[in-house]
Structure 1
């Protein structure tokens, strides 16, 4: 499965050097990849439907317990089939939709990358691996949503989507890590075995809260839903692929995958039911006021995701069956409606429902596809949507008696609005009198209108033969979620009962609502008065606050002056060190352990002090460099006095090299500002900070003398410096061998700094730039 998951990533990389060959008719050949993957997964349906699981593991970072662990069970199989099956349709559709686009190969590369990321999410059996692919879906979707990067709205939508889903990913990572620490494993399969340990742990509420944020942001649940309508700025193939069948359902997959681990508690169930229930009603209601076809589909998608969250929260077997079935139902009709919308926009140049009418006269196959999808979304008998809606009502009616009525009412209200929204998107543009502006509209290439027609017909084929879906897909998914064998039998007809009455009533009332709800330009004005209270406005205010705070913080702490940075760092270090000294108890000095001060040591210290005074008071840069070199050499003599000649040699070499470099760099620079003209308060402040820092470090050095002396480390380096590294200078051996990586990164930092200095020295500004 590793090659299967990475195949899209490999293909996207190959498109970098060979992309020019796929900007023509060759682009259609890329559909072979998702189609081949679909056939691969379809071949496992008989085996997986019997309750089996395929597990595969490859070593990656075993020291951190991060491996390429993959698991193919019923749940992951369903999503893999959707990702590759819908993906095949999208690749075929995109070959014509973006034909002639200068960046068509880049778009197809992003699609391949996204497909790999989604397959990685649904197949991963290691939570850290899952998170890696989870973030890759956010990154690849960012490029897809912002594909039209010359449009400011597209760029803004991409950044918003990445910000919201990225924030959710941060919380998700924290939840996954905390969960793994409680259970002692990163394996999702083993987490299921430790479910009781996790749910009984004191951190369980925190874990599910973090996981919920990750899932809700990705699947556009209230109040994180607003990024999805904005993402409709993306090309239609992106909307059809990411926002109907794949990425937005990643959060649903996460909730379903961790239901056996975290589910079964009131906190889990009631939270999902409350958030999902409110989201599905809120979004379904909003979809009725949109006049942009993609806007209608975006809000109806949010509502459908709310329904899935709601059903997973209910947690009963009937609710889980309804959720599994509705995942397929929604993917089929919503992808169809998005593709139909794309054709309308591609041929007419608009998605405005107030301008579109009568297109059935010029786009007959597209009208048929839209009609089939709209009828399936409405739950017309003999469509797979009818079965999905029946199952939802069965789940709510058979829930706990105290809440059954309310749950069913919420489902009915949502579905009525969704019926009207589906008709608005799939039927309204084609009915009525043809707008004269569209009389010359013609049918696009077959690779554009055949894919939605296939999906629309498939929705009725599964409606006629629901046993196939129930026996080979829903049964496997249910087994994968619950871990218990179950046989799901989906039927067209259950007799005359309350569920049938509710389904027919929903369809009729929804159709009436559709007829009464005429699209008009001012339909959104009723909602705009509440925009200041909307989640988007609230998040916008929070964003503006952080921008303003960051600006003030930057101006205060990052003003561009090196001396300011050094001052703040030193003051902060002084505060921490002084705090540690104050809580560390009194300091005593055992003078008997101190060696007497010799004349040479005293003379060296006086020289050092004189060099410091000369360095900080001189107005000449070269004199300052000489002063610092004297300070360095004085320290070298201290090392010699205290029997550390190897350290003295190293220090001497570095100081000499530094002085030479400074002389070369600073020779042509002007003198310092005259000392007498400097701000006296600044001088006093800097002197106080410097002296305080020296005093604190001196006290620390004295306190170190009170600690027991251990020379084990010194003996180790002294013994093995020559035996292991073949070097007699212990200090050099430590720097080059034992701590070689530290030294290497220090060299890299110095090299970068040197390049920066060199660039500044070579910079030649124009007079206008200097001003």
Structure 2
């Protein structure tokens, strides 16, 4: 399994060196990677269906309990098959959709990295590795959404998506760390066995909130949903792969994976039901006001994700089975509709559903794919969508204590989704072909075959549900419920569920013929746009930006003396407050050695040099007197047997004096840089800071010292590191990694300074 996950990352790195090969006709060869992975995961279907769970673990950071543990059960297998199967078709589709694009190889690299990250996410059995793969999906999707980086809207959409999902990533990290601490393990399989202790823990609600934050942001739940419609600025293969079949379902996967650990409580179930219900209705209503095909599909995707969260929240065997089936149903028909939309956009250069008509006459296979996907999204027999809708209604009605309101809301949502599916999948192909599209040509078979295969798959699985049952039922088992007696079948007899389906189909179809997408509807929606979560968050962002800008401009005003003064004031305040509350001032002066004459002479020399520095009117004299202070400190180091420190101090002090002289040489000769008030303020600040440091040193001297660490270094420096200078041995051997990193930082800073010194910008490029 580890090899299967790493394959996508390896291919991404491989493209860095051989990318030119995949910019031309050989681009389709990239599809071999997801195809081989799909075949690999398909080989596990029978084993998983029989109840087997495949585990694989590799040590990573065992001291922290972080291992690369992977689990392949019903839940992870369903997602792995979707990721690789739809991924294969998207890879094929991309080879024609972006044919001739100068960065096609880069696109495949991002796509492969995302595929690998998603596989790692759904198969991870360790909370920390799950978080890492979670973040990798956010980063790779950022690159994919912003692929058209010359477009300002694409860049903005990518940043928005990264900001929202990145916030969810932080929430997941916090929840994972607390959950790992409470459960005393980061293994998800082991956490399931500790469920009762976790739920009874006082931190349970906090853990659940953090996991909700991660899932709701990733799966575009209200009020975090607005990043998903914006992400439609990405190329269609991205919209298909990330935002209908895989990435947006990562949040749903997280909820399903942790239902056995955190679920079946009032807080968990109620939160998911309420948030899912609001999301599915809110987004479904929005589809009525959209004209852009991608916009319609985006909001219908958000609504479908709300349905999934709603079903998971109910937490019964039936609703979990309905959720598992609906994941597959939605992936098949929504990926088809997105691919069809991409073909329409690619061939007609338009996604405006109010002007698209009659395209069946020039691209019949595409029209068939769109029609099949539309009827599957509507839940019309004999498609798989009909089974999904029937199971959703049946399981919701069967839940004890579910109010009638929830049943009404799920029916209304399904009606509106039927309308959206018909608008996206049927409207562009109905009627007469407009004159402006008369030159439209049949697309390459590499474009229309993938959506047609997905659409036919939705029909075949609907007629023969036994084909997909071995993949769906183990999902419920993985979530802690028993689905052994459940069977997927097309006909359930005449019952309440069937009548609800008939009402849904008839009402949605009537709505489709009565209500046509128009600019007028869009304008009505724009009038209340100021109340939308996106508008509210944008206003909050602007307030935050203005506040942070004012704060930054106040402190970061370009004057070094202000920066130093600010740092010193805060240090004086914090350190002084701490000393006031904790200092004992119990220093025994008798324990100190007697002050010698040469020490008094050196201190006196330093004192008069400081006074001369402060009051002299000559800059060069001030620099020279500062050099005297530095040399006096060197003498103190020598007297106290620290010649290495003395040499270091001497070198730095000499260099500092030289640099000061060079800088002062360039300044105007008689320029007065500060007035007496500024000097008084600086003097008070310096005296206060010096007093605080003096008190702190005296307090340190009065504190008992544990010399165990000092003895260790003294005893082992020569024996282990073969060095007589303890300080040098500590820096080079015992803390060699720290020293190496410090050297690296200094080297990077030096390279940056050198680059800035050598930078010569054109006048038009200067800011």
TM-score (norm 1): 0.95
Shift of 1:640: 4.3
The 3 A distance-change label for structure 1 pair 366 and 66 is: same
Cα–Cα, structure 1 residues 630 and 93, in superposed 2: closer, same or farther, change >3 Å?
Answer: same
- Partners of 1:180 and 1:399 lie apart in 2 by 32
Aligned residue among 633, 648, 654 for 2:648: 654
Tell me if the contact between 1:291 and 1:520 (Cα under 8 Å) persists in the aligned partners: yes
| Residues 14 and 585 of structure 1: CA distance in aligned 2, closer, same or farther (over 3 Å) | closer
* Post-superposition offset of 1:243: 1.1
Cα distance, 1:485–1:414 mapped onto 2, change above 3 Å:
closer
Relative distance call for 1:259 and 1:709 in structure 2 (3 A) is: closer
* Equivalence map 1:439-450=2 (5 Å): 439-450=438-449
Q: Is residue 377–residue 385 contact of structure 1 (8 Å, CA) maintained in 2?
A: yes
Task: Tell me by how many angstroms 1:596 deviates.
Answer: 3.1
Note the residue ranges of structure 1 that are not aligned, 5 or more in a row: none
Partner of 1:83: 83
Work out whether 1:117 is the aligned partner of 2:117: yes
In structure 1, which of residues 677, 681, 684 is the aligned counterpart of residue 680 of structure 2? Answer: 684
CA distance in 2, matches of 1:652, 1:761: 32
Q: Deviations over 1:735-759 (max 9, x none)?
A: 3333333433443444455556656
Give matches, 1:167-246, under 5 Å: 167-246=167-246
Shift in Å at residue 487 of structure 1? Answer: 4.1
Question: Aligned runs of 1:12-51 on 2, under 5 Å?
Answer: 12-51=12-51
Q: Is the 8 A contact 1:49 1:476 kept in 2?
A: yes
Is the deviation greater in 22-31 or in 480-489? 480-489
Q: Specify the alignment match of 2:408 in structure 1.
A: 409
**Distance in 1, Cα, partners of 2:336 & 2:537:** 32
What is residue 738 of structure 1 aligned with on the other side? 734
Looking at structure 1, the residues matched to 547 and 471 of structure 2 have their Cα atoms a distance apart, in angstroms, of 52
Q: How many residues align?
A: 765
CA-CA distance at 1:531 after TM superposition: 1.1
Residue in structure 1 matched with residue 497 of structure 2 by the alignment:
499
Could you tell me which runs of 5 or more consecutive residues in structure 2 were left unpaired when the two chains were aligned: none
Q: Note the 1:538-617 alignment, pairs <5 A.
A: 538-584=536-582, 586-617=584-615
Matched-pair contact (CA < 8 Å) for 1:23–1:101: yes
1:474·1:488 contact (CA, 8 Å) conserved in 2?
A: no
Asked if structure 2 preserves the Cα contact closer than 8 Å seen for 1:625 and 1:659, the reply is: no
What is aligned with 1:274? 274
CA contact (8 A) 1:632 1:652 kept: no
Alpha-carbon distance between aligned partners in 1 of 2:613 and 2:184, rounded to the nearest angstrom: 58
Is the CA contact (8 Å cut-off) linking 2:114 and 2:137 kept in structure 1? yes
* Alignment RMSD: 2.1
Which deviations, in whole Å up to 9, do the C-alpha atoms of 1:486-529 show, x marking residues without a partner?
A: 24311111111111111111111100000011121121122212
Q: Indicate how the Cα distance of structure 1 residues 358 and 223 shifts in structure 2: closer, same or farther if over 3 A, else same.
A: same
- Of 211-220 and 757-766, the range deviating more from structure 2: 757-766
Cα offset for 1:218?
0.5
Q: Post-superposition shift, 1:456?
A: 0.8
Distance in 1 (alpha carbons) for counterparts of 2:748 and 2:325: 57
Q: Distance in 2 between matches of 1:490 and 1:65?
A: 41
Q: In the TM superposition, what whole-angstrom CA distance separates every residue of 1:56-98 from its partner, at most 9, and x where no partner exists?
A: 0112222222221100000000000000000111111111111
Equivalent-residue separation in structure 2 for 1:363 and 1:769 (angstroms): 48
- Measured in 2, the distance between the counterparts of 1:95 and 1:769 equals 37
* Alpha carbons 1:93, 1:451 under 8 Å: kept: yes
- Kindly tell me: are residues 754 and 424 of structure 1, through their superposed partners in 2, closer, same or farther at Cα, counting changes over 3 Å? closer
* Partners of 1:358 and 1:435 within 8 A in 2: yes
With 594-603 and 379-388 compared, the bigger mean Cα shift is at: 594-603
Please say if residues 621 and 666 of structure 1, whose CA atoms lie closer than 8 Å, have aligned partners that are also in contact.
no
- 1:430 matched to which residue of 2? 429
Per-residue CA deviation, residues 456-509 of structure 1 (Å, 9 max, x unaligned), is: 111110011112222x11211111111646243111111111111111111111
Q: Give the secondary structure class of the aligned counterpart of 1:705.
A: helix
Q: 1:55-94, aligned counterparts within 5 Å? A: 55-94=55-94
Alignment CA distance shift 1:337-1:677 (3 Å): closer
Q: Is the 8 A contact 2:637 2:645 kept in 1?
A: no
Q: Distance in 1 between matches of 2:735 and 2:566?
A: 29
Shift of 1:698: 1.5
Alpha-carbon distance in structure 2 between the residues aligned to 1:640 and 1:17: 57
Cα separation, partners in 2 of 1:51 and 1:667, compared to 1, 3 Å? same
Partner secondary structure for residue 670 of structure 1: helix
Distance 1:770 1:319 in 2: 61
Say whether the 8 Å CA contact 2:169–2:214 is kept in structure 1: yes
* TM-score normalised by L of structure 2: 0.96
How far did 1:411 drift?
1.0
Q: Deviations over 1:333-361 (max 9, x none)?
A: 11111111111111111010111111111
Change (3 A) 1:763 1:466: closer
Deviations 1:665-706 (A, max 9, x none): 444433567596622111111111111111122222222333
* Alignment partners' CA distance in 1, 2:378 and 2:588: 89
Matched residue, 1:468: 467
* Residues in 1 aligned to 2:673 and 2:536: alpha-carbon distance in whole angstroms: 51
Matched, 1:535 2:533: yes
Corresponding residue of 2:716: 720
1:100 paired residue number: 100
The 8 Å contact of residues 168 and 213 in structure 2, kept in 1 or not, is answered as yes
CA pair 410-658 structure 1, distance change in 2 beyond 3 A: same
Give the secondary structure class of the aligned counterpart of 2:468: helix
Q: 1:404 to 1:490 in 2, by over 3 A?
A: farther
* Partners of 1:619 and 1:757 in 2: CA distance: 32
Report 1:690-729 matches (<5 A): 690-729=686-725
